[in-house]
């Protein structure tokens, strides 16, 4: 009950603050305010930069292995309390990741060299 009350108070207060700021806040449109501004750098050029596919592969591998590491560390901390069931679960987890990695490898997802047009992966 107290969690529901807390959330109702949070949502109510947030709504009231947003309503008050939209009603009481002054609006002075200016072209300088409408200009894009990112991390203190005024943009010079197109917003879309062409990145090679390996750039995104590295990002995805980082996320996958980062999450995997978090799970493995948590399991390692509590392995004595989890027993054989915990070992079975983490084995299945790592097995699924290895099957996915093998599939990705077989399909050529780990080939970093540029392919010639018309040449398909093995």
Mean pLDDT of 96-112: 81
Token duo for residue 51: 């990145």
Domain of 83 in residue numbering reads as 50-122
Phi, psi of 100, rounded to the nearest 5 degrees: -65, -40
| pTM across the whole model | 0.47
| Domain containing residue 108: CATH number | 1.20.58.1610
Question: pLDDT tens across 37-49, in order?
Answer: 767 677 777 767 6
Task: For residue 41, give the 3-state DSSP assignment.
Answer: strand
**What percent of the chain stands above pLDDT 90?**
30
Upper half-sphere CA count for residue 64 (Cβ side, 13 Å): 14
- The pLDDT score that the predictor gives to residue 79 is 87
Question: pLDDT tens across 2-43, in order?
Answer: 999 999 999 999 999 999 998 888 888 888 777 777 676 777
120 in a structural domain: yes
């Amino acid at each position: 009950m107290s969690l529901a009350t807390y959330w109702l108070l949070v949502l109510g207060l947030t709504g009231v603050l947003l309503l008050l700021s939209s009603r009481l806040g002054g609006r002075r449109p200016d072209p300088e305010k409408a200009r894009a501004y990112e991390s203190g750098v005024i943009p010079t050029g197109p917003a879309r930069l062409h990145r090679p596919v390996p750039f995104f592969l590295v990002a995805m591998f980082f996320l996958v292995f980062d999450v995997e590491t978090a799970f493995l560390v948590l399991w390692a901390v509590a392995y004595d309390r989890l027993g054989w069931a915990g070992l079975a679960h983490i084995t299945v987890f790592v097995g699924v990741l290895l099957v996915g990695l093998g599939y990705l490898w077989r399909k050529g997802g780990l080939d970093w060299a540029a392919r010639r047009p018309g040449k398909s992966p093995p």
